Amino acid sequence: MPNQALTLLLEFDDQVRRDHHQPPAFLHRRDRRFALEATEPHTPRAWLDHIQRLSGGHTNAALKPLRRWRRITLGFAVTGTVLGIVTMLGLLYYDGSGRINVTVMLGFMLLQLMLALATSLQALVGWRPWGWLIERYLHPAEESAMAINRLQPQLMARAAHCGGLMFALAGLLTLLTLVVVRDLAFGWSTTLSTGADSYYRFVATLAWPWHTLWPAAVPDLELVSQTRFFRIEADTAVTAGRWGEWWPFVTLAWCCYVILPRLILTALSSLHLRLRARHVLTSHPGLLALRYRMETPEVDTGHQNTDVNVTPELAVNARLHPLPDSPVVVRWAGAGEASVPAQFQGHQQRLVVEAGGAASLAQDQTAIAEAGRHLSDDSRHSVTLLARAWEPPTAELEDFITDARSHWPANTRITLVPLATDPNQPASDQQLAPWLRFCERLADKRLYVARYSNVDATTGNGEALS
């Protein structure tokens, strides 16, 4: 089963790298639109599905590094299988002139356990003693998400554990096969001064995990005493009959101290890789940038360049227009929330609706539909949209106007009225400049900008730009 956290990281990183070729304004608008329209949580998986729907398909290029690592894992598994068969044949080699030393078998099992623990330890600390070989084979330029000290130690540990597990399983099958087809003679011996009693306590301790499951696989003191051999000793018929009684102990010891640790550590290596992939994705710079674009409205600064140290351009071709007597007033993003000028307050003939800002897209649609019904009953097809003058126009406002055009009468006049901090005071020329440029950029012949001042409350006329 594929590692979903790893594939998600690879797909996300691949999309972020491809987004580097797109203009920042396009990315901001695309991701902000997704954040506003999405009905599901704004997760990387949901964002990738949205991008794939926009692009019209799914690409497997992002999973190319993962396929390469699968080939490495398969190579370790095949190599481990072959080495497991060859190693067990060597350990169980018996030509009739000696015995298979159980002590050597136990020492080799201890070596396998130490190698398995060392493999897991290097993945935990991120040590890469084989890094030079991986870099030569994998071409690091293509390994964007799995850079050095990121995911390679965990991937290598998983591959090594898979190879070790296949080594252990192949060794077990070889052992059982030789037990069936050959007459193996086991015994024990050591150069150290170890008596049968001490050796019996040692093997009984090792056999404790299965002493209730298979009592025959636990050597007794008599077996230990009769199967000890020395460099010079004459074999007797009494002990020769018991040489083969060690195989259940050797088999279960191999299962308990070689196969079981490898199986557990292989599962833990996959879990560690999954957790590491999630951590890398959480700290991915592209995810931080994506969240910023989704949470931040796109702002038109009023300048063609992207240099933040350049003063925004104030000179525009658009001009201010008089304030109309509109039957519908839209308060955008809470404009005039503190005190709405009397001229824009609702009465029997005027409708005031809320849109933008904290309002959801469904609330914006409701406001558009309500305003459309009111306009259809009034001959004055005019809408006044109040906004905060100190907040430059956003992409959400452009989308709102575009959507409203498709629901309101075709000849509806929309007048943008940016309000100053004090709604009874006129907005400055510098505050109005981005709004005039916004109107000019949209190229909507029935979209205007007007400036409200306290004089307009009595005259009803807007102030022209001199």
Residue 53 included in any domain = no
Has this prediction a pTM greater than 0.85? no
For 27, 44, 131, 200, the CA distances from 56, given in Å and listed in that order, are 17, 18, 39, 70
Q: Rg (Cα) of the chain, in Å, rounded?
A: 39
**What is the total count of domains within the chain?**
2
Residue-level pLDDT at 461:
42
Question: What 8-state DSSP symbol labels residue 258?
Answer: I
Higher pLDDT, 207 or 232: 207
| Same domain, yes or no: 345 and 247 | no
Residue-level pLDDT at 85:
95
| Same domain, yes or no: 258 and 341 | no
Mean pLDDT of the chain: 79
Report yes or no: 376 and 344 within 8 Å, Cβ to Cβ.
Answer: no
Residue 446 included in any domain = yes
| Same domain, yes or no: 277 and 337 | no
| Same domain, yes or no: 278 and 341 | no
Residues 156-174 pLDDT 10s: 899 999 999 999 999 999 9
Q: How far apart are CA 154 and CA 121, in angstroms?
A: 10
Q: To which H or E segment does residue 430 belong?
A: helix 429-442
| Same domain, yes or no: 274 and 336 | no
Choosing from 282, 315, 348, the residue where a domain stops is: 282
| Same domain, yes or no: 368 and 453 | yes
Give the CA angle between residues 259, 263, 265 to the nearest 5°.
120
96 lies in which domain range?
63-282
Of the chain, the end-to-end C-alpha distance in Å amounts to 70
Choosing from 252, 282, 312, the residue where a domain stops is: 282
| Pair of tokens at residue 56 | 């019209």
| Same domain, yes or no: 253 and 341 | no
| Same domain, yes or no: 72 and 154 | yes
Residue 183 included in any domain = yes
Question: What 8-state DSSP symbol labels residue 20?
Answer: T
Residue 13 included in any domain = no
Report yes or no: 302 and 312 within 8 Å, Cβ to Cβ.
Answer: yes
Alpha helices in 38-101 (DSSP H): 44-55, 64-91
| Same domain, yes or no: 384 and 260 | no
Cβ partners under 8 Å of residue 409, min gap 6 = 372, 375, 376, 381
Report yes or no: 447 and 438 within 8 Å, Cβ to Cβ.
Answer: no
Residues 252-269 pLDDT 10s: 999 999 999 999 999 999
Report yes or no: 420 and 389 within 8 Å, Cβ to Cβ.
Answer: yes
Residue 5 included in any domain = no
| Same domain, yes or no: 382 and 250 | no
Q: How far apart are CA 336 and CA 423, in angstroms?
A: 6
Residue 433 included in any domain = yes
Residue 16 included in any domain = no
Residue 234 included in any domain = yes
| Same domain, yes or no: 370 and 268 | no
For 116, 250, 382, 402, the CA distances from 405, given in Å and listed in that order, are 68, 83, 12, 5
Higher pLDDT, 263 or 153: 263
104-118, 137-151, 230-244, 328-342, range with greatest mean pLDDT: 104-118
Confidence of residue 285 (pLDDT cuts 50, 70, 90): confident
Choosing from 245, 262, 282, the residue where a domain stops is: 282
| Same domain, yes or no: 118 and 218 | yes
Report yes or no: 11 and 49 within 8 Å, Cβ to Cβ.
Answer: no
For 100, 438, 441, 460, the CA distances from 465, given in Å and listed in that order, are 103, 16, 18, 16
Q: How far apart are CA 109 and CA 154, in angstroms?
A: 24
Residue in the block written with tokens 């299962």:
255
Q: To which H or E segment does residue 264 belong?
A: helix 260-282
Share of the chain above pLDDT 90, in %: 19
Residue-level pLDDT at 26:
82
Q: How far apart are CA 239 and CA 246, in angstroms?
A: 12
